[in-house]
Structure 1
Amino acid sequence: MLFLEISIVAFLLKENYASCLETLARTFMVSGLLVGVDLLLKAIFIFGFGVPLFLDVEIADRGKWGVWCTNKLLLTAAYGYILFVHFSKWRDKLPPRPAFYNYVIVMFVTTAVMLFSCGLAGIRGGFGLWLYNLTVVCYHSLYLPFLYVTFLADFFKEEDWLLDSAYYSEMKDAGFFDADWE
């Protein structure tokens, strides 16, 4: 999911500066590098320091919530920076697509809620653990439909279906479907 998230933002930020193949190659290299570093750091914390990152065994494990807070803080800062640049004088450096900003706003709010819930869970708040788990479930179950609605719904408009219906009605009026099949 992190690879997809980074790839989408990186690809949309490099929209008009290179050819498609070159942009995809650079995007996948940067995304792969960042996800690889994230994976390596999580493996070091899990196997090297014994921090149970993916287990809810003990809510009071400060190392676990420190790692998750740092992770979510970096993501929130990245999305916040993009929003800051959008409302600054450097706005022309970003893509002019409104769908991109809708994506960034939703992801900023999602990661900010996750950051807040990690902070609450880190100070032994039961509500923080519940909120974190809720946002993780919502993120993983709604991320792909959100991508479809944000970026692909316009591509798959119903105009094609209306055009097929128009062809069908023209063929019906011309008598193509009136033949006796007995």
Structure 2
Amino acid sequence: MLYKKNSQAKKQRGVALLELIIAIGVIGVLTAAVVGLASQAFTSLNQKELVNNLSNLKSGISTVYGRFGDYSDIATVGTDGRQIGGAYAADDLNNPFGIDLAVLSASVNSNADTGYVVKVAGLGIDECIAVVNQIGTTWDFVYVGTASTTFDITATVADEIIYSNSDSSLFTPANILTQCSTASVEIALGSR
């Protein structure tokens, strides 16, 4: 009888190897879930920051240049870090996904420097789709495709244009997905 008590006492003192493996597995699954949620939260935060920066740029540029209609010096930033005319600061060009935003003058109805474009590069497919869906129709022109340096924001249908005041029928989920799925995607948002 004394032998049985000792063997039962020994069994109850330690943790079985199987129990330890199960506990480690549960902790691993929970950790993976938390890491996945944290990653999604950071991506969502970056998307919101980019959308805010784009909205601030549009507002500042429209306020400073809108009454003149001449955007010839829109890309010129002074030594103080502010854009000539004060439309935006260098900090407003921050893209949390990588390559900074670029502001260029654009043509309207083939008239040079009568509009502007904000170029966004460095986005993945999901980020491209989210950004275009969130702010695409608030701009006069949305181009998604490979890098370009000249834009006419009143251009008619082209393969890479997914929204234009002259043709909003292109702004469809299928077209956005197709354009955002191309390699080295770049978004150009234009206004005047």
TM-score range, shorter chain: 0.3 to 0.5
Higher Rg: 2
TM-score, normalized by length of structure 1? 0.33
TM-score, normalized by length of structure 2? 0.31
The answer to which structure has the higher strand fraction is 2
